[in-house]
Chains A and B, each alone.
Chain A
Amino acid sequence: MATTDIHIHSDVHHHGDHDHEHEHHEGNFWTTYIFSQDHKVIAKQFLITGIFWALIGGVLSVIFRLQLGFPESNISWLKPLLGGWITADGKLDPQFYLALVTMHGTIMVFFVLTAGLSGTFSNFLIPLQIGARDMASGFLNMLSYWFFFISSVLMFISLFISTGPASGGWTVYPPLSALEQAISGSGLGMTLWLVAMAFFIASSLLGSINYISTVINMRTRGMSFTKLPLTIWAFFFTAIIGVLSFPVLFAAALLLIFDRSFGTSFFLSDIYINGEPLAHEGGSPILFQHLFWFLGHPEVYIVLLPALGISSEIIATNSRKPIFGYKAMIGSMLFIAILSFIVWAHHMFVTGMNPFLGSIFMLLTLIIAVPSAVKIFNYVTTLWKGNIRFTPAMLFSIGLVSFFLTGGITGIFLGNSAIDIQLHDTYFVVAHFHLVMGSASFFGMLAGIYHWFPKMFGRMMNEGLGQLHFWLTFIGVYLVFFPMHYIGIAGFPRRYYSWTNFDTFSGFTDLNMLVSSAAIATLAAQFIFLFNFFYSMFRGRLAPINPWNATTLEWTTPRNPGHGNWPGEIPAVYRWPYDYSKPGAKEDFIPQTVPYSETPESNLPHETKLIKLESSNGDNAIIVEGSH
């Protein structure tokens, strides 16, 4: 074990030195910025692409919110953008409405909150926080981004084709998604969707495998698993979930491609459409739903866990306290990760699945509330008796906890199959997942950007603008999604272009108008962020080495870490990442790189015993990766 690690590390070290020389030669533009194998550049590529997609996803949602909130208004002014999808009397085409809903979901879940969040922060933080020169395989890492890029290009093209992009909902349930006769978006648009997702899955797998091997193999001297920051734990679990679940979506997509193009009947049976019966027999649409949600539910945690990891780190740093219950936090994440694989069918209580299966999945689903509750309580206790600094990152992390709470408890309703009968596919579900998964993860992503921007670009973002951005977005998000609970309890179904056909759903024009107005305002507030982000990248205040007085390794790198991250040797790690406000210590934080032998005034009894081990580091084989 020890010898292999030494081997790998000396290799990487060598590689790092080599690239350093390249940088001195001012490298080739293409290898430095485009086809870079540096994890930091790849992280930024994911980030910029993610921001681009977030903007598109947000604009799409505002367009369909215009229809829902102001159904009478004439939106022919959108004609330059939407062309034929605006009808002659200035209304949104009902089919394009479904396309908007579908693409909004696909873009936000996969392109923004999976690639944009994990892609950015796993790439950026894993090597920096575990003390590695780069990812285990820089090449696979680069490939991961470029597969994502190809996927993005295909998905983007699909927005502009004449038959429209995929329109069967982001869950692409067949037969609707399989039959062009059923909806025109299931033609070329759906083909592009499936191919784009195939590339996306490949990208995600390449990334995840890299994250896992990097975390396992490339931790610096002294960085045992129990000294990893919670961010790394979160990314690690996320990557494992991704590796185990994404291939199942790939299988589902592949079988759907077969059904669509090669006449197989995996998901299709007994269909009479457009005046003729189809030849398909023996398939089951329910099978697709099982396969889809076998990824789909873990996907929720692929999106959420990194955000929770990021917020754990930020809340501890800005409360100037150790995260409460470090091990409980890891345990609850592990438990959530395991449970996430055995709850998928709670999305299918009323699809005709055997009701007994419903009972089992209800049981397993509600268990997930326990580790989630533990996480919330631990966050709250971390705030208790802290010394809280409201940096924009901290504000967004607090927002995340608030959304996680508000959106999480409605999961207790939906996980209960008896209650879900009425709430399934209503706006209650929309409110639930937008808060607990969408907004919470989105806030995690924003918190991460504000917190690590100084390390990414060597400059500070404007704090005042960040705080303004937070308040507008925080209040905006609540105004958008909280009223949806009422609309959902009243039974309003999702994915309706308009409700006026039903007497039962004729009310709530006022709330829908409020929701739409708030959505527009919230989107507008994001431009404050965009301005702050790009302005600060070039003209922001120069960042100090450790602007937040944090303990983790990334803050020991130079202001603009070059290829290889640390100019000299990689620092060794001696303590856990949460030594904030330790009694007796001079400062209110002790970086992970400070040995216990240097802090006799603040050491706890069991830590004093560890000093002995530290001093014998040089020639002791207990510590992996001997010093050079």
Chain B
Amino acid sequence: MSLIIGLGAILVLGVLYMIFRVTNLVAIAKGVKDDKVGPNNSLHGVLFIIFMVVSLVAFFWYSFAHFDGYTLPIASVHGKETDHLFWVTMAITVAAFVIISIIMFVFIYQYRYKEGRRAKFYPDNHYLELTWTVVPAIVLTVLIFTGLSTWNDITSPAKKNAEVIEIVGQQFAWTARYPGVKDNQLGKVNFKLIDNFGNEFGLDLADKNSYDDFKSLELHIPKGKEVLLKIRAKDVLHSVFLPHFRVKMDAVPGMQTQFKFVATKTTKEMRLETSNPDFNYELACTEICGQGHFSMKMPVVVDEWDDYVKWKQAQETWLKQNPKYLDKVPADLREAAMIKAGLEKDPGATVASVNE
């Protein structure tokens, strides 16, 4: 089979070569070429016009007809602003692009070679050059300043009461760590404390704040409240990408990065909006990190605030899931750790219940 295909291919190539030789010989037989241009010079001018029309039509048709196919619904406050900037820039650049393209291809067609005509000797014109230096400069200045103010808003420090969530990237999975419902503070970590038996965060158990921290393989975030993602990586670079929230920030080993945003639509609302009952938010990795890069996904759930709080309260602390690490807790803090981690009832609460 492949032999036949191979022979066929050779045959086709042979035929093409013969055609090439024959046309060459015919051209030579017709006489010495002393024309200034080839015989099909005007054809290319026409082809450029056809190319321009067809591609501009295709461009506009696809852009409008498939708009919903290539735009993602926005689910964050700043996402609205960046998308707005995107479409403003799009309007300006597409206008410039279309005008310049049309002028260029029309010139190419209109001024194709004609026997006996002479080109215009037109080496420069300072007014023209000044115009097309100044006009783009002004347009760009406008874009720069709107962009700058949006960027400064997005990267400004988060509010004090923002929900802090840590996201840790490693080959090839994401893990979230929540500060816990009791102290709402993330405990200290140290990469040297990371092990294979459960302490995947490298939690420092001498720090009281770590006892009620809990781990989640799903990222839960509340709607309508500022969320501050604290991002780090354990091995190589990764990048947190939340496409619907217009959030992207690299995860860098040895350096914490962060991104703050406010989600505006719960998962349920988004399911209604997209009329897709299976819709789920996703977190993807966008910095090449090894062979599993393309599969490094974390499901994301946006809840109403109340549901979010309920979910948080229902989570078991990391220490409760890994009680053997109690040995690493300094002896004087062990009691407090057990209470905070939910391993032991709060004695105060017990007294209270007895009293009832």
Question: Which of A20-28, A109-117, A361-369 has 4 or more CB atoms under 8 Å from chain B?
Answer: A361-369
Is B285's CB under 8 angstroms from A324's CB? no
From the candidates A273, A405, A487, A502, name the one contacting B97 in the complex (CB within 8 A): A405
Contact yes or no, A495 B293, CB < 8 A: yes
- Determine whether the beta carbon of B254 is less than 8 Å from that of A283: yes
Question: Residue A413 at the B interface, CB < 8 A?
Answer: yes
Within 8 A of B (CB), among A295-334: 319-328
| Cα distance A9–B152 in the bound complex, in angstroms | 58
CB neighbours of A179 from chain B (8 A): 235-236
The digit string for B130-164, where 1 denotes a CB below 8 A from any CB of A, is 00110011001001100110111011000000000
B280: CB under 8 A from chain A? yes
Partner of B136 from the list A373, A419, A425, A463 (CB cut-off 8 Å) is A373
Max chain B C-beta neighbours (<10 A), residue from A381, A419, A494, A495:
A419
> Are the CB atoms of B119 and A498 closer together than 8 Å?
no
Q: Which residue of A lies closest to B47 (CB)?
A: A471
**Which residues of A are found within 8 Å of B290, using beta-carbon distances?**
95, 98, 176, 182-183
On chain A, the residues within 8 Å of B254 by CB distance are 268-271, 281-285
Rounded to whole Å, the gap between the CB of A422 and the closest CB of chain B is: 5
Contact B287 A425 (CB under 8 A): yes
Question: How long is the Cα–Cα vector from A534 to B117 in the complex, in angstroms?
Answer: 36
Chain A residues, Cβ within 8 Å of B108: 383, 388, 398
* Cβ contact within 8 Å between B119 and A359: no
B297 touches A376 (CB 8 A): no
Q: How many residues of A contact B (CB 8 A)?
A: 121
Does B48 sit within 8 A of A, measured CB to CB? yes
**For the complex, is A52 an interface residue (Cβ under 8 Å from B)?**
no
- Could you tell me if A405 and B129 are in contact, using CB atoms closer than 8 angstroms? no
Q: Does B305 contact A (CB under 8 A)?
A: no
Q: Which residues of B contact A599 (CB under 8 A)?
A: none
Chain B positions within 8 Å of A583 at CB level: 121
Residue A605 at the B interface, CB < 8 A? no
- Whether A175 is near chain B, meaning CB under 8 Å from some CB there, is yes
Tell whether, in the assembled complex, residue A383 and residue B147 are in contact, meaning their CB atoms are under 8 Å apart: no
Known A-B contacts A401-B104, A501-B297; the reply to A490 vs B71 at CB < 8 A is yes
A182 partner, pick from B36, B154, B191, B235, beta carbons under 8 A: B235
Question: Is residue B61 contacting chain A, with contact meaning CB distance below 8 A?
Answer: no
> Does the CB pair A504–B154 fall under 8 Å?
no
Is B118's CB under 8 angstroms from A588's CB? yes
> Which residue of the partner chain, among A268, A285, A376, contacts B100 with CB atoms under 8 Å?
A376
The answer to whether A175 and B155 touch (CB under 8 A), given A324-B124, A351-B250, A369-B136, is no
Give the B interface residue count (CB, 8 A): 112
Q: Which of A362-387 contact B (CB under 8 A)?
A: 362-363, 366-367, 369-370, 373-374, 376-381, 383-387
* Minimum Cβ distance to chain A for residue B237 (Å): 6
Complex CA gap A390/B45 in Å reads 8
How far apart are the CA atoms of A359 and B155 in the complex, in Å?
10
- B121's partner among A282, A374, A580 (CB-CB below 8 A) is A580
Chain A CB within 10 Å — which of B40, B44, B51 has the most? B44
Chain A nearest CB, measured from B291 CB (Å) = 4
Instruction: Take A269-B253, A352-B250 as given contacts and tell me if A367 and B86 are in contact as well, using a CB distance cutoff of 8 Å.
Output: no
Given A380-B100, A422-B243, A366 and B140 touching (CB < 8 A)? yes
Once the chains bind, are A409 and B96 in contact (CB under 8 Å)? Answer: yes
13 CB < 8 A contacts A-B: A179-B236, A273-B234, A282-B254, A285-B252, A285-B253, A320-B119, A379-B104, A387-B118, A416-B147, A417-B151, A422-B82, A502-B282, A503-B278
A residues near B (Cβ < 8 Å) are 93-95, 98, 168-169, 173, 175-176, 179, 182-183, 268-273, 275, 277, 281-286, 319-328, 350-352, 355, 358-359, 362-363, 366-367, 369-370, 373-374, 376-381, 383-391, 395, 398, 401-402, 405-406, 409-410, 412-413, 416-419, 421-422, 424-426, 462-465, 467, 471, 474-475, 478, 482, 486-487, 489-491, 493-499, 501-505, 507-508, 541, 549, 578, 580-583, 588
Please give me the 5 A-B residue pairs with the lowest Cβ-Cβ distance, nearest first: A269-B254, A355-B155, A352-B257, A385-B120, A390-B44
